[in-house]
Structure 1
Protein backbone atom coordinates (compact mmCIF):
# COMPACT_ATOMS: atom_id res chain seq x y z
CA UNK A 1 0.00 0.00 0.00
CA UNK A 2 1.37 3.41 -0.91
CA UNK A 3 1.55 6.38 1.47
CA UNK A 4 -1.37 8.70 1.35
CA UNK A 5 -3.92 6.13 0.22
CA UNK A 6 -7.02 5.62 2.29
CA UNK A 7 -7.15 2.23 3.90
CA UNK A 8 -10.39 0.35 3.51
CA UNK A 9 -11.71 -2.37 5.80
CA UNK A 10 -12.85 -5.54 4.12
CA UNK A 11 -14.99 -8.12 5.88
CA UNK A 12 -14.35 -11.68 4.76
CA UNK A 13 -17.20 -14.14 5.21
CA UNK A 14 -15.81 -17.63 5.62
CA UNK A 15 -19.28 -19.14 5.71
CA UNK A 16 -18.76 -20.99 8.97
CA UNK A 17 -21.12 -18.97 11.14
CA UNK A 18 -24.10 -20.72 12.69
CA UNK A 19 -26.73 -18.15 11.69
CA UNK A 20 -27.80 -18.49 8.08
CA UNK A 21 -29.29 -15.30 6.68
CA UNK A 22 -31.23 -15.28 3.46
CA UNK A 23 -30.93 -12.39 1.10
CA UNK A 24 -33.92 -10.44 -0.14
CA UNK A 25 -33.09 -10.72 -3.84
CA UNK A 26 -32.46 -14.50 -3.69
CA UNK A 27 -28.82 -14.24 -4.77
CA UNK A 28 -25.95 -15.78 -2.87
CA UNK A 29 -23.38 -13.38 -1.46
CA UNK A 30 -20.30 -13.03 -3.59
CA UNK A 31 -17.33 -14.24 -1.62
CA UNK A 32 -14.03 -12.46 -1.86
CA UNK A 33 -12.21 -15.32 -3.53
CA UNK A 34 -14.80 -15.50 -6.31
CA UNK A 35 -15.00 -11.77 -6.89
CA UNK A 36 -13.11 -10.38 -9.87
CA UNK A 37 -10.37 -7.93 -8.89
CA UNK A 38 -11.26 -4.28 -8.94
CA UNK A 39 -9.51 -1.94 -11.35
CA UNK A 40 -7.27 -0.44 -8.69
CA UNK A 41 -6.30 -3.98 -7.61
CA UNK A 42 -5.35 -4.90 -11.19
CA UNK A 43 -2.93 -2.00 -11.36
CA UNK A 44 -1.18 -3.15 -8.18
CA UNK A 45 -0.71 -6.74 -9.31
CA UNK A 46 2.97 -7.24 -10.04
CA UNK A 47 4.35 -10.40 -11.56
CA UNK A 48 7.98 -11.17 -11.42
CA UNK A 49 9.86 -11.56 -14.68
CA UNK A 50 11.26 -14.80 -13.27
CA UNK A 51 7.72 -16.18 -13.10
CA UNK A 52 6.83 -15.07 -16.62
CA UNK A 53 10.09 -16.19 -18.23
CA UNK A 54 11.20 -19.38 -16.60
CA UNK A 55 13.45 -22.19 -17.72
CA UNK A 56 11.74 -24.69 -15.44
CA UNK A 57 8.18 -24.26 -16.72
CA UNK A 58 8.78 -26.13 -19.99
CA UNK A 59 10.78 -28.78 -18.15
CA UNK A 60 7.90 -29.54 -15.82
CA UNK A 61 5.33 -29.95 -18.59
CA UNK A 62 7.36 -31.62 -21.31
CA UNK A 63 9.99 -33.85 -19.76
CA UNK A 64 10.93 -35.76 -22.92
CA UNK A 65 10.70 -33.16 -25.72
CA UNK A 66 12.87 -35.14 -28.14
CA UNK A 67 11.07 -38.45 -27.57
CA UNK A 68 14.16 -40.28 -26.31
CA UNK A 69 12.14 -42.66 -24.17
CA UNK A 70 9.20 -43.42 -26.46
CA UNK A 71 9.90 -47.13 -26.05
CA UNK A 72 9.00 -46.91 -22.36
CA UNK A 73 5.36 -45.95 -22.89
CA UNK A 74 4.09 -49.24 -21.51
CA UNK A 75 0.58 -49.89 -20.25
CA UNK A 76 -0.96 -52.88 -18.50
CA UNK A 77 -2.41 -54.20 -21.76
CA UNK A 78 1.03 -54.11 -23.41
CA UNK A 79 2.45 -56.43 -20.75
CA UNK A 80 -0.44 -58.67 -19.70
CA UNK A 81 -3.14 -59.83 -22.08
CA UNK A 82 -5.64 -62.66 -21.74
CA UNK A 83 -6.92 -64.47 -24.80
CA UNK A 84 -10.64 -64.94 -25.28
CA UNK A 85 -10.44 -68.67 -24.54
CA UNK A 86 -8.85 -68.25 -21.08
CA UNK A 87 -10.11 -65.48 -18.83
CA UNK A 88 -9.78 -64.67 -15.16
CA UNK A 89 -12.52 -63.08 -13.13
CA UNK A 90 -13.34 -59.46 -13.75
CA UNK A 91 -12.36 -58.46 -10.20
CA UNK A 92 -8.99 -60.21 -10.57
CA UNK A 93 -8.38 -58.36 -13.84
CA UNK A 94 -9.37 -54.98 -12.36
CA UNK A 95 -7.29 -55.46 -9.20
CA UNK A 96 -4.25 -56.73 -11.09
CA UNK A 97 -4.50 -53.75 -13.44
CA UNK A 98 -4.73 -51.35 -10.49
CA UNK A 99 -1.85 -53.01 -8.63
CA UNK A 100 0.29 -53.01 -11.78
CA UNK A 101 -0.22 -49.28 -12.31
CA UNK A 102 0.25 -48.36 -8.64
CA UNK A 103 3.38 -50.49 -8.22
CA UNK A 104 4.84 -49.24 -11.51
CA UNK A 105 4.35 -45.60 -10.52
CA UNK A 106 5.48 -45.89 -6.90
CA UNK A 107 8.47 -48.12 -7.51
CA UNK A 108 9.59 -45.70 -10.23
CA UNK A 109 9.17 -42.76 -7.84
CA UNK A 110 11.07 -44.49 -5.03
CA UNK A 111 13.93 -45.57 -7.30
CA UNK A 112 14.00 -42.06 -8.80
CA UNK A 113 14.31 -40.50 -5.36
CA UNK A 114 17.16 -42.87 -4.51
CA UNK A 115 19.05 -42.68 -7.81
CA UNK A 116 18.11 -39.48 -9.68
CA UNK A 117 20.04 -36.99 -7.58
CA UNK A 118 23.29 -39.03 -7.33
CA UNK A 119 23.11 -39.91 -11.02
CA UNK A 120 22.53 -36.26 -11.93
CA UNK A 121 25.48 -35.14 -9.81
CA UNK A 122 27.79 -37.80 -11.27
CA UNK A 123 26.63 -37.03 -14.83
CA UNK A 124 27.10 -33.30 -14.28
CA UNK A 125 30.61 -33.81 -12.88
CA UNK A 126 31.56 -36.14 -15.73
CA UNK A 127 30.18 -33.76 -18.36
CA UNK A 128 31.97 -30.81 -16.72
CA UNK A 129 35.28 -32.71 -16.60
CA UNK A 130 34.99 -33.87 -20.22
CA UNK A 131 34.02 -30.36 -21.36
CA UNK A 132 36.93 -28.79 -19.49
CA UNK A 133 39.34 -31.40 -20.84
CA UNK A 134 38.10 -30.90 -24.39
CA UNK A 135 38.13 -27.09 -24.22
CA UNK A 136 41.47 -26.64 -22.44
CA UNK A 137 43.49 -29.68 -23.57
CA UNK A 138 42.23 -31.37 -26.73
CA UNK A 139 41.12 -28.23 -28.61
CA UNK A 140 44.43 -26.35 -28.16
CA UNK A 141 46.43 -29.53 -28.84
CA UNK A 142 44.64 -30.05 -32.15
CA UNK A 143 45.23 -26.38 -33.11
CA UNK A 144 48.92 -26.76 -32.25
CA UNK A 145 49.13 -29.91 -34.35
CA UNK A 146 47.52 -28.12 -37.31
CA UNK A 147 49.97 -25.24 -36.95
CA UNK A 148 52.95 -27.59 -36.63
CA UNK A 149 51.93 -29.83 -39.52
CA UNK A 150 50.88 -27.12 -41.98
CA UNK A 151 53.80 -28.10 -44.24
CA UNK A 152 52.46 -31.70 -44.27
CA UNK A 153 49.00 -30.48 -45.29
CA UNK A 154 50.55 -28.46 -48.12
CA UNK A 155 52.60 -31.48 -49.25
CA UNK A 156 49.53 -33.72 -49.18
CA UNK A 157 47.53 -31.22 -51.26
CA UNK A 158 50.36 -31.14 -53.83
CA UNK A 159 50.46 -34.97 -54.00
CA UNK A 160 46.71 -35.08 -54.49
CA UNK A 161 46.77 -32.38 -57.20
CA UNK A 162 49.77 -33.82 -59.14
CA UNK A 163 49.32 -37.60 -58.85
CA UNK A 164 45.94 -38.72 -57.57
CA UNK A 165 43.56 -36.26 -59.25
CA UNK A 166 44.86 -36.76 -62.84
CA UNK A 167 44.96 -40.54 -62.34
CA UNK A 168 41.37 -40.71 -61.09
CA UNK A 169 40.17 -38.21 -63.71
CA UNK A 170 41.62 -40.29 -66.57
CA UNK A 171 40.21 -43.51 -65.05
CA UNK A 172 36.80 -41.86 -64.84
CA UNK A 173 36.93 -40.74 -68.47
CA UNK A 174 37.98 -44.22 -69.61
CA UNK A 175 35.20 -45.90 -67.70
CA UNK A 176 32.69 -43.21 -68.68
CA UNK A 177 32.55 -44.62 -72.21
CA UNK A 178 31.11 -47.91 -71.07
CA UNK A 179 27.36 -48.29 -71.06
CA UNK A 180 25.32 -51.19 -69.81
CA UNK A 181 22.00 -52.12 -71.36
CA UNK A 182 19.83 -54.66 -69.65
CA UNK A 183 17.49 -56.60 -71.85
CA UNK A 184 14.75 -58.94 -70.77
CA UNK A 185 14.71 -62.21 -72.70
Structure 2
Protein backbone atom coordinates (compact mmCIF):
# COMPACT_ATOMS: atom_id res chain seq x y z
CA UNK A 1 0.00 0.00 0.00
CA UNK A 2 1.52 3.30 -1.05
CA UNK A 3 1.71 6.35 1.17
CA UNK A 4 -1.11 8.87 0.96
CA UNK A 5 -0.15 12.08 -0.82
CA UNK A 6 -1.94 15.39 -0.80
CA UNK A 7 -0.64 17.77 -3.41
CA UNK A 8 3.12 17.34 -3.55
CA UNK A 9 5.83 15.67 -1.50
CA UNK A 10 5.16 14.84 2.10
CA UNK A 11 7.22 16.73 4.60
CA UNK A 12 8.74 15.21 7.72
CA UNK A 13 6.41 15.70 10.66
CA UNK A 14 7.70 15.72 14.21
CA UNK A 15 5.32 15.37 17.11
CA UNK A 16 6.55 16.36 20.56
CA UNK A 17 4.59 14.55 23.25
CA UNK A 18 5.83 16.84 26.01
CA UNK A 19 8.42 14.47 27.51
CA UNK A 20 11.32 16.01 25.64
CA UNK A 21 13.38 18.86 26.96
CA UNK A 22 12.24 22.42 26.38
CA UNK A 23 14.29 24.32 23.79
CA UNK A 24 15.25 26.83 26.48
CA UNK A 25 16.78 24.04 28.61
CA UNK A 26 19.02 22.72 25.84
CA UNK A 27 22.74 23.44 25.77
CA UNK A 28 24.30 24.84 22.64
CA UNK A 29 24.40 22.30 19.84
CA UNK A 30 21.88 19.87 21.40
CA UNK A 31 18.89 18.78 19.37
CA UNK A 32 15.47 18.45 21.03
CA UNK A 33 14.43 14.84 21.64
CA UNK A 34 11.16 13.65 20.13
CA UNK A 35 9.42 10.47 21.13
CA UNK A 36 7.61 9.81 17.87
CA UNK A 37 8.43 10.94 14.39
CA UNK A 38 6.58 10.26 11.16
CA UNK A 39 9.03 9.50 8.39
CA UNK A 40 8.84 11.31 5.10
CA UNK A 41 7.79 9.68 1.84
CA UNK A 42 10.78 11.07 -0.05
CA UNK A 43 12.79 7.84 -0.02
CA UNK A 44 9.78 5.76 -1.02
CA UNK A 45 8.85 4.89 2.56
CA UNK A 46 5.25 4.77 3.55
CA UNK A 47 3.99 7.26 6.12
CA UNK A 48 2.59 4.24 7.96
CA UNK A 49 6.10 2.92 8.65
CA UNK A 50 6.55 5.25 11.61
CA UNK A 51 8.62 3.97 14.46
CA UNK A 52 9.31 4.84 18.05
CA UNK A 53 12.54 6.63 18.66
CA UNK A 54 14.82 5.12 21.30
CA UNK A 55 14.03 7.88 23.79
CA UNK A 56 11.19 6.92 26.12
CA UNK A 57 10.53 6.57 29.82
CA UNK A 58 8.49 3.38 29.45
CA UNK A 59 10.56 1.66 26.80
CA UNK A 60 13.00 0.07 29.32
CA UNK A 61 10.01 -1.28 31.26
CA UNK A 62 8.46 -2.79 28.15
CA UNK A 63 11.55 -4.34 26.57
CA UNK A 64 13.50 -5.56 29.60
CA UNK A 65 10.96 -7.18 31.88
CA UNK A 66 13.36 -9.55 33.67
CA UNK A 67 16.58 -7.52 33.99
CA UNK A 68 18.00 -9.70 36.78
CA UNK A 69 17.18 -13.01 35.06
CA UNK A 70 14.95 -14.26 37.87
CA UNK A 71 12.90 -16.41 35.51
CA UNK A 72 15.54 -17.85 33.21
CA UNK A 73 14.21 -21.33 34.02
CA UNK A 74 10.94 -20.46 32.22
CA UNK A 75 12.53 -19.93 28.82
CA UNK A 76 10.84 -22.98 27.33
CA UNK A 77 10.52 -23.64 23.62
CA UNK A 78 8.77 -26.42 21.73
CA UNK A 79 12.08 -28.24 21.23
CA UNK A 80 12.70 -28.22 25.00
CA UNK A 81 9.41 -30.03 25.65
CA UNK A 82 8.79 -32.25 22.62
CA UNK A 83 11.53 -33.93 20.64
CA UNK A 84 11.30 -36.87 18.26
CA UNK A 85 14.31 -39.12 17.80
CA UNK A 86 15.41 -40.11 14.32
CA UNK A 87 14.02 -43.63 14.72
CA UNK A 88 10.44 -42.49 15.49
CA UNK A 89 8.97 -39.62 13.51
CA UNK A 90 5.49 -38.27 12.91
CA UNK A 91 4.37 -36.67 9.69
CA UNK A 92 5.79 -33.30 8.75
CA UNK A 93 2.39 -31.61 8.85
CA UNK A 94 1.70 -33.06 12.32
CA UNK A 95 5.03 -31.73 13.54
CA UNK A 96 4.45 -28.25 12.05
CA UNK A 97 0.88 -28.02 13.40
CA UNK A 98 1.97 -29.31 16.81
CA UNK A 99 4.69 -26.70 16.96
CA UNK A 100 2.33 -23.92 15.92
CA UNK A 101 -0.42 -24.96 18.35
CA UNK A 102 2.08 -25.32 21.19
CA UNK A 103 3.40 -21.80 20.68
CA UNK A 104 -0.02 -20.21 20.16
CA UNK A 105 -1.61 -21.95 23.15
CA UNK A 106 1.40 -21.19 25.39
CA UNK A 107 1.34 -17.50 24.50
CA UNK A 108 -2.43 -16.98 24.59
CA UNK A 109 -3.11 -18.99 27.74
CA UNK A 110 -0.33 -17.03 29.45
CA UNK A 111 -1.85 -13.74 28.27
CA UNK A 112 -5.33 -14.73 29.43
CA UNK A 113 -4.12 -15.90 32.82
CA UNK A 114 -2.04 -12.73 33.30
CA UNK A 115 -5.05 -10.57 32.42
CA UNK A 116 -7.02 -12.38 35.11
CA UNK A 117 -4.30 -12.64 37.77
CA UNK A 118 -1.59 -10.01 37.18
CA UNK A 119 -3.38 -6.96 38.55
CA UNK A 120 -4.83 -8.65 41.66
CA UNK A 121 -1.51 -10.38 42.40
CA UNK A 122 0.45 -7.15 41.94
CA UNK A 123 -1.93 -5.38 44.33
CA UNK A 124 -1.64 -8.20 46.88
CA UNK A 125 2.16 -8.29 46.49
CA UNK A 126 2.36 -4.53 46.91
CA UNK A 127 0.23 -4.69 50.06
CA UNK A 128 2.26 -7.61 51.44
CA UNK A 129 5.63 -5.93 50.85
CA UNK A 130 4.31 -2.63 52.23
CA UNK A 131 3.12 -4.37 55.42
CA UNK A 132 6.37 -6.33 55.76
CA UNK A 133 8.41 -3.16 55.23
CA UNK A 134 6.33 -1.29 57.79
CA UNK A 135 6.67 -4.09 60.35
CA UNK A 136 10.42 -4.34 59.75
CA UNK A 137 11.02 -0.58 59.90
CA UNK A 138 8.73 0.30 62.79
CA UNK A 139 8.73 -2.87 64.92
CA UNK A 140 11.54 -5.33 64.28
CA UNK A 141 14.44 -2.87 63.85
CA UNK A 142 13.60 -0.83 66.98
CA UNK A 143 13.13 -4.02 69.02
CA UNK A 144 16.50 -5.36 67.87
CA UNK A 145 18.11 -2.01 68.66
CA UNK A 146 16.55 -2.03 72.15
CA UNK A 147 17.78 -5.58 72.74
CA UNK A 148 21.29 -4.64 71.58
CA UNK A 149 21.32 -1.58 73.84
CA UNK A 150 20.00 -3.62 76.79
CA UNK A 151 22.49 -6.43 76.31
CA UNK A 152 25.57 -4.28 75.68
CA UNK A 153 27.00 -5.42 79.03
CA UNK A 154 26.56 -9.04 77.93
CA UNK A 155 28.46 -8.34 74.71
CA UNK A 156 31.30 -6.77 76.68
CA UNK A 157 31.35 -9.73 79.10
CA UNK A 158 31.50 -12.17 76.16
CA UNK A 159 34.38 -10.19 74.63
CA UNK A 160 36.28 -10.42 77.94
CA UNK A 161 35.64 -14.18 78.21
CA UNK A 162 36.91 -14.67 74.67
CA UNK A 163 40.02 -12.52 75.25
CA UNK A 164 40.91 -13.91 78.69
CA UNK A 165 40.00 -17.60 78.45
CA UNK A 166 39.34 -18.82 74.90
CA UNK A 167 42.01 -16.94 72.95
CA UNK A 168 44.98 -17.92 75.16
CA UNK A 169 43.75 -21.52 75.29
CA UNK A 170 43.46 -21.82 71.52
CA UNK A 171 46.71 -19.92 70.94
CA UNK A 172 48.66 -22.29 73.21
CA UNK A 173 47.00 -25.34 71.62
CA UNK A 174 47.96 -24.01 68.20
CA UNK A 175 51.58 -23.51 69.23
CA UNK A 176 51.76 -26.99 70.75
CA UNK A 177 50.35 -28.61 67.64
CA UNK A 178 52.47 -26.40 65.39
CA UNK A 179 55.61 -28.18 66.60
CA UNK A 180 54.56 -31.51 65.11
CA UNK A 181 55.98 -32.42 61.73
CA UNK A 182 54.65 -35.25 59.61
CA UNK A 183 56.92 -36.84 57.05
CA UNK A 184 55.53 -39.29 54.55
CA UNK A 185 58.02 -41.75 53.18
CA UNK A 186 57.55 -44.24 50.40
CA UNK A 187 58.41 -47.85 51.22
TM-score interval for Structure 1 and Structure 2 normalised by the shorter chain? 0.7 to 0.9
CA positional deviation for 1:49: 4.9
Partner Cα distance (1:130, 1:46) in 2: 39
Which residue does the alignment assign to 1:128? Answer: 130
CA positional deviation for 1:181: 3.5
Out of 30, 33, 47, the residue aligned to residue 9 of structure 2 is 30
Which residue does the alignment assign to 1:151? Answer: 153
CA positional deviation for 1:184: 4.8
Partner Cα distance (2:4, 2:17) in 1: 27
Larger strand fraction of residues = 2
Matched, 1:116 2:107: no
| 2:79 match: secondary structure | helix
* Matched ranges for 1:37-76 at <5 A: 47-49=18-20, 54=57, 56-76=58-78
| 1:134 match: secondary structure | helix
TM-score w.r.t. the length of structure 1 is 0.73
Partner Cα distance (2:184, 2:80) in 1: 50
**CA shift in 2, pair 1:81/1:142, >3 Å:** same
CA RMSD of aligned residues (A): 2.7
* Count of aligned positions: 153
Partner Cα distance (2:183, 2:121) in 1: 62
Matched, 1:161 2:163: yes
Out of 85, 95, 100, the residue aligned to residue 97 of structure 2 is 95
Partner Cα distance (2:185, 2:123) in 1: 66
CA positional deviation for 1:84: 1.4
TM-score w.r.t. the length of structure 2 is 0.72
Larger helix fraction of residues = 1
* Structure 1 residues without counterparts, runs of 5 or longer: 1-12, 22-28
